[in-house]
Amino acid sequence: MNSAEELKYLLPNSVVSVGVQTNKPQAVIRKEDFLKVAEKVKELGYDNLSVITGVDRVDRIEVIYNLFSYKKKQNLALKVVLDHRSPEVDSVTSIWKVADWLERETYDLVGVKFNGHPDLKRILLPEGWIGHPLRKDYDMNTEQFVTIGEDGEDIVSPDGSNLLRRK
């Protein structure tokens, strides 16, 4: 029994299906139960959250969590499938602290909202940026201009009105 099947056995109602992510066991989780499952997974010894990946599948958004247990030396991937119009899932910052930045990055670039995150704001792009670049429908042709205001905060505009232009 691999780690995903073990999770299915322990939480049969929350785990939708089990499969593989190439060579790692993967469990697809009901998004409503995600926080509960994450707590259970931490209890099972998965102490290292490697990465959170958001993937825009056009009709849905998938968020994939790659976990590793240093004690058991086992891999586990969790996947939640979210609605494309309003992708929302519970934050796991209370369980793995590293999720703080990983979730902010996923919010910034893919536009997934993490409920319960203490400070969910953009991290790589400036506050006020229009759109989420890793969405497949992101508008690549509109330029956006960024300057730093007097208080050090970023100012974004799509027409360059915030730039100092030579007259």
Contact between 21 and another protein by CB under 8 A: the answer reads yes
Close Cβ partners of 159 (under 8 Å, ≥ 6 residues apart): 145
Query: Which member of 61, 76, 109, 112 binds another protein (CB under 8 A)?
Result: 109
How many CB atoms are located within 10 Å of the residue 62 CB? 17
Contact between 101 and another protein by CB under 8 A: the answer reads yes
Query: Which member of 29, 100, 111, 120 binds another protein (CB under 8 A)?
Result: 100
Contact between 102 and another protein by CB under 8 A: the answer reads yes
Query: Which tokens is 20 given?
Result: 């593989």
How many CB atoms are located within 10 Å of the residue 19 CB? 11
Query: Which member of 60, 86, 124, 128 binds another protein (CB under 8 A)?
Result: 124
> In sequence order, what are the beta bridge partners of 62?
55, 81
Distance CA 130, CA 112 (A): 15
Close Cβ partners of 93 (under 8 Å, ≥ 6 residues apart): 99, 100, 103, 114, 116, 117, 118
Shortest Å distance, C-beta 2 to another protein: 15
Query: Which member of 27, 29, 49, 89 binds another protein (CB under 8 A)?
Result: 49
Query: Which tokens is 90 given?
Result: 């519970």
Contact between 165 and another protein by CB under 8 A: the answer reads no
Contact between 22 and another protein by CB under 8 A: the answer reads yes
Residue 149 CA, chain-centre distance (Å), reads: 29
Residue 144 CA, chain-centre distance (Å), reads: 24
Query: Which member of 17, 43, 97, 145 binds another protein (CB under 8 A)?
Result: 97
Query: Which member of 11, 18, 64, 156 binds another protein (CB under 8 A)?
Result: 64
Using the rule CB under 8 A, give the single segment among 3-11, 29-37, 116-124, 156-164 that binds another protein: 116-124
Contact between 13 and another protein by CB under 8 A: the answer reads no
Nearer to another protein, 13 or 58 (CB): 58
